[in-house]
Amino acid sequence: MISTDKPLKEHKNFILDFVTKRYHGFLEKILNKSKLTVVAGFSVVAVLILFGGSLGTEFLPELDEGSIFLRSFMPSGITIQENAKIAPLIRQTISKYPPVNYVITQTGRNDDGTDPFPTNRTEILVGLKDYKLWSDTITKKELVKKVQDDLQQRFPGAFFSSGQPIIDQVMEIVTGSAADLAISVVGEDLQLMRAKADSIALLVKKMDGAVSVNIEQEGMQAQLAVNINRENAARFGINIRDIQQMIEAAIGGKVISTLYEGTKRYDIVARFLPENRNSINALQNLQVPSANGALIPMSQLADIRFVEGQTNIYRINSKRMVTVRTNIRGRDQGGFVQEISEKINKNVKIPEGYSVIYGGQYENLERAGKQLALTIPLTIVMVFTFLFMLFKHFKYTLITMSCVLFALAGGIIALYIRGYHFNVSGGVGFVSIFGISVMAGVLLVSAINRERGMDDTLLKGNILNASVNQLSALLSILVVAIVGLVPAATSTGIGSDVQRPLATVIIGGLSSTLIFAPLLIPPLYFWMNKPGKKAENVAKSE
């Protein structure tokens, strides 16, 4: 049997004892000037919160997926064969950079037709080596810029845009554009809309932070138009259908039968030889049999010419649209959209029946902003409700809720110092710290209520003793949480772009709570319960 007669030793923490002693002396002084302390302290908190007005807004920070996704836009009208000849040259140009691991290109639309791209587009996936294998002389942003500049110099008639493969594909599916901002002119007259889009593109190119500015839809290109002369066809006794089938078979090919080989099926297509269909003259000389057996040249039956026509037509809500796309670098999306919308309203006259809408990632920002505008106030209301159920007194609930202001101020300053914009990740961080920071207030107010009891004669001493006794608990809760999130706030690996703003907000909010709560809640409590007033019933809390 183990003897328990030996007394237990109490271990002292010299650092904690030093902090506690200093805190005791400082708190004793500010309690004597509680009103001045509260006014000055909350004024500082209010000033820190005002820094939130200088924070920009964005949906998500720029993600680093460990790869690069480029798009090549060759002049409209280029054939798939000619564009395919350029793809190896693009791969050769990119592959010469040491950080590049592999390059994959895809020209035109994909096999299943989910990407309805014309023949002049090429998607380029650039796989990168592990960052540990890179030299210290170049960053990923510098690599992307060098690759784009190199490609633009080698192919002067083309346009190249850059992005990330996963986020670009997702954004294209969700919003119709992979760009950070898509400014769409919606209406019916494509020529008018194209002119307005060109004017908007010029405004966007002059703005700070705009990169890879272009119009999503390619411009006009030469198209072969065949207008059948019905009177001449009737004069020769030729059906319109016969002329159409002749043109279809000559240019595109006509399925005339099907060949089955086991479970496989092959269409048999009749098509003219290239020398009989590769020019307008060749098509005009096609012979169409008439009712009496005479062969009539196609030139006497139809007007065949090249005309300028639309390459592709995009629609939204049953209306046509022309989109100006741009990526935003070095500034926030919300401020960028506000500035460009003011310039469009001032410099571009949009006719009645037409409209300008803003999409891309900014569309997600608007959607997320509306959700956060509901979530954050709801969180505050729920915290207030639970605190009121705990204290059963509005005064002490309000004192405890002041920790929300402390956390808000700290989170804003942390984002401001690190140069981050307010985004969805930061918004989630604010929702988290509103609940965590209130624990500091609960510890202090509950301890003061227990120490005070029903006796107000020694209110100042009770507040002082309770606050000093709870200091170690506050330090344990908040410091451990702050230190635990430091790796997340300073990480630089792939995928860390989203977690850094969240961790930054929580660290900043808890740090400010750790500073302001022990210094402002006791004076605020003392000021709102000054001796000499009628004693109030105090709800004891566990």
Task: Give yes or no for residue 189 having a pLDDT over 50.
Answer: yes
Task: Give yes or no for residue 541 having a pLDDT over 60.
Answer: no
Q: What is the DSSP string of 23-84?
A: HHHHHHHHHTTHHHHHHHHHHHHHHHHHGGGG--B-SSPPP--SEEEEEEEPPTT--HHHHH
The tokens for 107 are 């020209």
Each residue's pLDDT tens digit, 205-228: 888 888 888 887 777 777 888 899
The tokens for 136 are 């210290």
Which H/E stretch holds residue 152?
A: helix 140-154
Pairwise CA distance, residues 540 & 431, whole Å? 28
What pLDDT is attached to residue 80? 83
Are 322 and 314 within 8 A, CB to CB?
yes
Pairwise CA distance, residues 268 & 18, whole Å? 93
Place of tokens 């307010």: 422
Pairwise CA distance, residues 83 & 118, whole Å? 11
Pairwise CA distance, residues 204 & 360, whole Å? 15
Angle at 530 between CA 527 and CA 532, to 5 degrees: 165
Pairwise CA distance, residues 147 & 520, whole Å? 55
Strands 295-297 and 287-289: antiparallel
34: exposed, middle or buried (Cβ count in 10 Å: 0-12, 13-18, 19+):
buried
Each residue's pLDDT tens digit, 395-452: 899 999 999 999 999 999 999 998 888 888 888 888 888 888 888 889 899 888 888 7
What pLDDT is attached to residue 535? 42
Pairwise CA distance, residues 342 & 332, whole Å? 16
How far does CA 56 lie from the centroid of its chain?
13
Each residue's pLDDT tens digit, 5-60: 556 566 667 777 788 888 888 888 888 888 899 999 999 999 999 988 888 888 77
Each residue's pLDDT tens digit, 99-130: 999 999 988 776 665 666 778 888 899 998 88
What pLDDT is attached to residue 537? 42
Question: Residue 261: what are its φ and ψ, rounded to 5°?
Answer: -130, 90
Task: Give yes or no for residue 457 having a pLDDT over 80.
Answer: no
Query: Which region among 301-310, 334-343, 488-497 has the lowest average model confidence (pLDDT)?
Result: 488-497
What pLDDT is attached to residue 94? 92
Are 443 and 470 within 8 A, CB to CB?
yes
